[in-house]
Structure 1
Amino acid sequence: MKELCADLLAEYQALAELAATMSPAQWDKKTQFYGWTPWDEIAHLCFFDETGLLAATDAAAFADNTRELQQELDKGTEISAITRKRFGHLDGAQLLALWQERFNALVTALATMDPKARLPWYGPMMSARSFATARMMETWAHGQDVYDCLGVRRPATDRLKHIAHIGATTFGWTFVNRKLPVPEVKPYIALRAPGGDTWTWNEASDRDYVRGSAEDFCLVVTQRRNVRDTQLEYAGDVASAWLPIAQCFAGPPAHGPAPGVRAIHY
């Protein structure tokens, strides 16, 4: 758990270091993620790191907070409006400082937990290990929006393995979430890691597969790139049906960018 949390902290810190370089104008610049600004992206992470800290330390307080959040969502309030109401009095630098305080506290709490300990969350309870991995995935995904907005190429690291694993293991979820039949055959996934290794999932196949860089795969399953704007190679009906709708995060069915919309090449 400590190694996983060290990777989680490194992911947080990498985005925080980028955010620390932003000017006031950059904090308010629109990203390609639903028109959110970098301020919105960091506020979103800060909000759920706050509630994540409650989940890890005070289940009763988390339950109360969840009821309040659900009441707002039931009214049709967008999550970005909820976070702006919560943190709108803070400028970018102040928000960054608060977020750093929150994510450091969350990582500290998670690092002392049994990896199999169960935490309440929005939906089914999660193991501490799965929870930490999910926080890393969300931080990396929203971080991509900020990097893209600023036109900065983010160095790929082997921390991507955590995110790729979520992407591979939520194959069935993508179909269930859309009320589609889950294919009986899972595509073989073979990804080139930034460090040079090859990461694989599922049974090897020359007919049903996804191959390419781990970074491209993670960009697709987090819906930050359309698969046609990556160099992923894939074959078979299952992979062809899955990749355009792949969704490794919870929530109702979401749609990634159309081809060409986020075809960013640095």
Structure 2
Amino acid sequence: MDELLADLRAETAELNAMIRELGPADWELPTPAEGWAVRDQISHLAWFDDAATAAATDPDGFRATLPAFLGRGDSAVDELAAASRGLAPDRLHGWFRAARSRSLEAFARLAPGARLPWYGPDMSAASFVTARLMETWAHGQDVADALGLARVPTARLRHVATLGVRAMPYGFAMRGLTPPAEPIRVELAMPDGTTWTAGPAGAPDTVRGTALDFCLLVVQRRHLDDTFLEVRGEGARAWVRVAQAFAGPPGKGRAPLGSGVSQGHTR
């Protein structure tokens, strides 16, 4: 838990560094998420950080809010973003810093195995913190793309990759599909030159490539065609079409950039 919290703080610091000196016009720059500016990415994180604090400190109270929120359907997150667009940039950034600080304090008091409610299945506290790190990294990518910044991949990607693999059945379930019966092997090159793996060695279905490409795919920030991932086997091919490391309804994903940056391929 200490390691997870340290990595979440580091991911938070990287995002704060990106937005600390932004001018008013920068906050309105469009991001790759349709209809969302930089400000919407930050308000989204702040709102759900406050929700995460509620889930950690008052799980029964949080559960009582779920029916109303989930009943709003897929439009809920867009409505939340729209509701915060009147905030001045300094107030918005202040909200994010305060909300993140409150959530970190709440997480630090939890045992790793404590069960917490969320907008998808209940999670252990350790998985919950991992999910907040994943969200921070994913929305930070949207901000970086809007600002034209190239982020340096870090070892923290192992958390996003872990969540992406563990969430494989969820991606299928959210679309009313049955996950593959056969296991899938994932082999990823980490930024430090080591190899991260999941699934049994020798499995015929495989996903191989860089941790960055895999993480961008499972958080739906890049289309498969804009990665160098190598996907083999029917089950693996089905998975990369529905992969989502986040809770809630399936996202729209991203259309291919068409830039020829890289090319994922399947066999």
**Same fold, TM exceeding 0.5?**
yes
* Amino acid paired to 2:102: A
Q: Which residue of 2 aligns with 1:97?
A: 94
* Structure 1 residue ranges, 4+ long, deviating more than 3 angstroms after superposition: 63-71, 261-265
Does structure 2 conserve the Cα–Cα contact (< 8 Å) formed by 1:20 and 1:93?
no
Residue 182 (1) aligns with residue 179 (2):
yes
Aligned length: 262
- Quote how far apart the aligned CAs of 1:67 are: 5.2
Residues 247 and 33 of structure 1: CA distance in aligned 2, closer, same or farther (over 3 Å): same
* Amino acid paired to 1:62: F
Distance 2:86 2:232 in 1: 50
Greater alpha carbon shift after TM alignment, 99-108 vs 41-50: 99-108
Structure 1 length-normalised TM: 0.91
What per-residue deviation string (whole Å, max 9, x for no partner) do you get for residues 230-253 of structure 1? 111221122222213211212222
* Amino acid paired to 2:6: A
> What is the correspondence of 1:97-116 to structure 2 with a 5 Å cutoff?
97-116=94-113
Q: Which residue of 2 aligns with 1:18?
A: 18
Does structure 1 conserve the Cα–Cα contact (< 8 Å) formed by 2:183 and 2:203?
no
User: What secondary structure is seen at the aligned counterpart in 1 of 2:122?
Assistant: strand
Residues 261 and 113 of structure 1: CA distance in aligned 2, closer, same or farther (over 3 Å): farther
Does structure 1 conserve the Cα–Cα contact (< 8 Å) formed by 2:214 and 2:229?
yes
Does structure 1 conserve the Cα–Cα contact (< 8 Å) formed by 2:39 and 2:85?
no
Residue 248 (1) aligns with residue 245 (2):
yes
* Amino acid paired to 2:24: P
Q: Which residue of 2 aligns with 1:207?
A: 204
Distance 1:221 1:55 in 2: 24
User: What secondary structure is seen at the aligned counterpart in 1 of 2:98?
Assistant: helix
What per-residue deviation string (whole Å, max 9, x for no partner) do you get for residues 187-215 of structure 1? 21000111121110001237321111101
Q: Which residue of 2 aligns with 1:5?
A: 5
Does structure 2 conserve the Cα–Cα contact (< 8 Å) formed by 1:8 and 1:132?
yes
Distance 2:172 2:214 in 1: 18
- Quote how far apart the aligned CAs of 1:109 are: 1.5
* Amino acid paired to 1:36: W
- Quote how far apart the aligned CAs of 1:61 are: 4.1
Unpaired segments ≥5 residues, structure 2: 263-267
Q: Which residue of 1 aligns with 2:82?
A: 84
Does structure 1 conserve the Cα–Cα contact (< 8 Å) formed by 2:69 and 2:76?
no
Distance 2:196 2:186 in 1: 8
* Amino acid paired to 2:98: E
Does structure 2 conserve the Cα–Cα contact (< 8 Å) formed by 1:9 and 1:104?
no
Q: Which residue of 2 aligns with 1:173?
A: 170
Distance 2:178 2:101 in 1: 41
Q: Which residue of 2 aligns with 1:136?
A: 133
User: What secondary structure is seen at the aligned counterpart in 1 of 2:101?
Assistant: helix
Q: Which residue of 2 aligns with 1:28?
A: 28
Distance 1:234 1:77 in 2: 32
Does structure 2 conserve the Cα–Cα contact (< 8 Å) formed by 1:144 and 1:224?
yes
- Quote how far apart the aligned CAs of 1:83 are: 3.7
User: What secondary structure is seen at the aligned counterpart in 2 of 1:185?
Assistant: coil
Does structure 2 conserve the Cα–Cα contact (< 8 Å) formed by 1:226 and 1:244?
no
* Amino acid paired to 1:126: M
Unpaired segments ≥5 residues, structure 1: none
* Amino acid paired to 2:141: Q
* Amino acid paired to 1:224: R
Distance 1:64 1:207 in 2: 44
- Quote how far apart the aligned CAs of 1:82 are: 2.3
What per-residue deviation string (whole Å, max 9, x for no partner) do you get for residues 74-119 of structure 1? 6x8542222432x344212221111111101211211221001122
* Amino acid paired to 2:78: S
